[in-house]
Amino acid sequence: MHCPLTEENKHIINEQTIASMKQGVMLINTSRGGLIDTKAVINALKTGKIGSLGIDVYEEEAELFFKNLSDKIIQDDVFARLLTFPNVLISGHQAFFTVNALNDIANAPLQNASDAENALSNENSLS
């Protein structure tokens, strides 16, 4: 899956949509954690309805990714349960670490400031 998260598609992967999938389906989500009802996915993993899961996003990821938690007890029981499955791969969302993405992240605010300065200069020259 790779799509934006909207009010209409929040938890689009849920008990009902999982029931309509083929037995042993592979589910990959590389977009937004809120697309998946994680508890429903866990139940489907336990029954084999979902044969494997790969995610680099998780609905409650803010306190879990991009930090060294090796000496901490994970308080999120749902996430901790996902970690117990041998057929689940979880990684931190890396899409914004490409060279192009990092350049855009650095250059966009600079361009916005330049555009604002130019607009102000143009406004002042018209008065």
Work out the number of other CB atoms within 10 angstroms of the CB of residue 45.
Answer: 21
Q: Annotated catalytic, 81? A: no
CATH superfamily of 1-93: NAD(P)-binding Rossmann-like Domain (3.40.50.720)
Structure tokens at 113: 């400031």
pTM: 0.69
Q: Residue 127 — very low, low, confident or very high, per pLDDT cuts 50/70/90?
A: low
- Give pLDDT tens digits for 93-118: 666 667 776 777 778 788 888 888 88
pLDDT at residue 93 in the model:
67
> Three-class SS of residue 89?
strand
Question: Residue 87's closest CA among 47, 35, 39?
Answer: 47
The rounded distance, in Å, linking the Cα atoms of 26 and 45 is 10
Q: Annotated catalytic, 8? A: no
Choosing from 7, 8, 15, 32, the catalytic residue is 32
Could you state, in order of their start, the residue ranges of all structural domains in the chain? Answer: 1-93, 96-127
Higher pLDDT, 97 or 42: 42
HSE (side-chain half, CA atoms, 13 Å) at 5: 15
Choosing from 7, 15, 59, 61, the catalytic residue is 61
Structure tokens at 55: 């995610």
